[in-house]
């Protein structure tokens, strides 16, 4: 019978250490969990002694071979997948979460469920990551700890909800909530992205047509006018169009370079705290899209906070996670104000109102939720309400933007055409009079 040293946490998160004797590692883990403990590390003490003894008696060639083997395994671990395979899409992660929740709800142990997913997973990165998570759990680690080792795939929201589910014994329920949360977030993102596709295509086409006319067509007309008008002055509108065309034709490389420099400066500015705050405030105050961005941010805040709290995550920890996953620096600072006020013992509604970032309806519903003790449910209702508002806003914006872009394109092209035809009328008159 082997002896193992273990480190484990209880249901309150308190860490304990001890030793246990068992026939195998799996039996040791089972006995530790029978004590209502969750093992985070399991070290076989007898193995250590055997290894030390073997090191003393083994010939020198064996350690060298062992080092070579270890080096080879390390090198194989460092192999990187191609860029197009080294990413897990939100839809793939959502499918993984729902499958695992269904397997656990059906009565399968977590480790068995992960092994089933490994066999059928097609994404190479997610397949390898799931296998590593399964190996970590088999070695005595918790599911949340294994997930936290892969922050590029599983964010803090995911890890903390899983940790709360493990401690509360409701992992299947928490995973199902996570899957639903990701589904609704993906649904909103798809609707907003889909609504913006047509306007962006029209705008790109308009700019392309404008650039073609100004750099290829207008210069040819300028040469024609120069020959036929014989020094006569052009109409003011034609002169303006010609000067713009001349500037674009001769200064196009500099214009392109200026656009690139502007984009790079904005990206560098966005990496600073002040720059992110300024850009996010500008996004929220934009004439057409500001309302949509604000409603989407409030929906995300409410749904994330409600999902965390209903899963058993403490309110202060939940607010910290929501701040980090808000995606908007201005909103993140407002959430930090709420966090600090709640930490001092205040209710959530007054600081939410004081930030001026949330509409009165949100403040009122949060206040009602705190008074009735149903804040998580109220937050989910706020999220559902704002999801409907986002749908309506997207449809409204689409119906407004489409005609505006068509009118914009018609005005630009029409102005260029009129500017080119005005001198032609003068030329025709001159030719007619001369005849």
Distance from C-alpha of 154 to C-alpha of 172, rounded to nearest angstrom: 17
What digits encode the pLDDT tens for the residues 186-210?
Answer: 887 787 777 778 778 878 887 888 8
Which pLDDT score is estimated for 129?
A: 92
Distance of CA 434 to the CA centre of its chain: 70
Two tokens at 272?
């600073």
| Average pLDDT of the chain to the nearest whole number | 79
Which helix (H) or strand (E) segment holds residue 40: the answer is strand 38-44
Comparison of pLDDT for 81 and 246, the residue scoring more: 246
Distance from C-alpha of 181 to C-alpha of 93, rounded to nearest angstrom: 12
What digits encode the pLDDT tens for the residues 124-142?
Answer: 889 999 999 999 988 888 8
Two tokens at 189?
């993102």
Which pLDDT score is estimated for 425?
A: 80
Q: Please provide residue 281's backbone torsions phi and psi, each rounded to the nearest 5 degrees.
A: -65, -40
Strands, E assignment, 81-126: none
Whether 143 contacts 110, CB under 8 Å:
yes
Q: In the chain, what percentage of residues exceed pLDDT 90?
A: 7
**Could you tell me the pTM of the whole model?**
0.61
Q: What is the mean pLDDT of residues 71-85?
A: 38
Which pLDDT score is estimated for 283?
A: 85
Whether 323 contacts 335, CB under 8 Å:
yes
pLDDT bracket for residue 85 (50, 70, 90)? very low
What digits encode the pLDDT tens for the residues 313-324?
Answer: 888 888 888 888
Two tokens at 224?
């024609």
Strands, E assignment, 92-185: none
Which pLDDT score is estimated for 13?
A: 54
Which pLDDT score is estimated for 280?
A: 86
Q: What is the mean pLDDT of residues 234-243?
A: 85
């Amino acid at each position: 019978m082997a002896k193992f040293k273990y480190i484990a946490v209880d249901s309150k998160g308190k860490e304990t250490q001890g030793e246990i004797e068992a026939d195998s590692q799996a039996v040791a883990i089972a006995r530790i969990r029978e004590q209502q403990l969750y093992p985070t590390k399991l070290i076989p003490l007898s193995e250590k002694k055997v290894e030390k003894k073997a090191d003393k008696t083994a010939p020198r060639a064996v350690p060298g071979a062992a080092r070579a083997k270890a080096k080879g395994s390390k090198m194989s671990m460092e192999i990187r997948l191609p860029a197009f395979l080294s990413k897990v899409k939100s839809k793939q992660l959502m499918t993984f979460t729902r499958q695992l929740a269904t397997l656990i709800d059906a009565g399968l142990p977590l480790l068995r469920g992960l092994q089933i997913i490994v066999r059928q997973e097609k994404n190479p990165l997610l397949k390898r990551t799931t296998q590593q998570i399964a190996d970590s759990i088999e070695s005595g680690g918790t599911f949340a700890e294994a997930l936290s080792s892969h922050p590029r795939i599983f964010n803090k929201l995911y890890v903390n909800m899983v940790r709360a589910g493990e401690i509360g014994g409701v992992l299947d329920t928490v995973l199902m909530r996570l899957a639903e949360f990701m589904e609704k977030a993906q649904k909103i993102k798809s609707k907003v992205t889909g609504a913006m596709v047509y306007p962006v295509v029209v705008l790109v086409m308009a700019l392309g047509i404008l650039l073609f006319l100004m750099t290829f067509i207008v210069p040819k007309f300028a040469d024609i006018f120069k020959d036929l008008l014989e020094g006569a002055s052009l109409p003011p509108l034609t002169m303006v169009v010609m000067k713009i065309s001349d500037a674009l034709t001769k200064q196009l490389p500099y214009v392109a370079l200026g656009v690139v420099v502007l984009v790079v400066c904005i990206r560098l500015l966005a990496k600073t705290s002040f720059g992110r705050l300024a850009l996010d405030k500008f996004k929220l105050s934009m004439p057409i899209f500001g309302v949509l961005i604000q409603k989407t941010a409030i929906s995300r805040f409410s749904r994330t906070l409600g999902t965390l709290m209903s899963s058993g995550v403490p309110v202060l920890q939940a607010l910290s996670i929501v701040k980090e996953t808000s995606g908007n620096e201005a909103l993140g600072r407002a959430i930090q104000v709420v966090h600090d006020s709640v930490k001092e013992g205040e209710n959530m509604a007054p600081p939410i109102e004081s930030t001026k970032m949330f509409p009165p309806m949100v403040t009122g519903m949060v206040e009602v939720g705190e008074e009735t003790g149903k804040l998580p449910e109220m937050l989910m209702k706020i999220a559902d309400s704002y999801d409907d508002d986002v749908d309506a806003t997207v449809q409204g914006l689409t119906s407004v933007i489409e005609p505006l872009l068509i009118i914009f394109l018609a005005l630009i092209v029409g102005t260029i055409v009129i500017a080119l035809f005005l001198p032609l009328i003068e030329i025709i008159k001159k030719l007619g009079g001369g005849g």
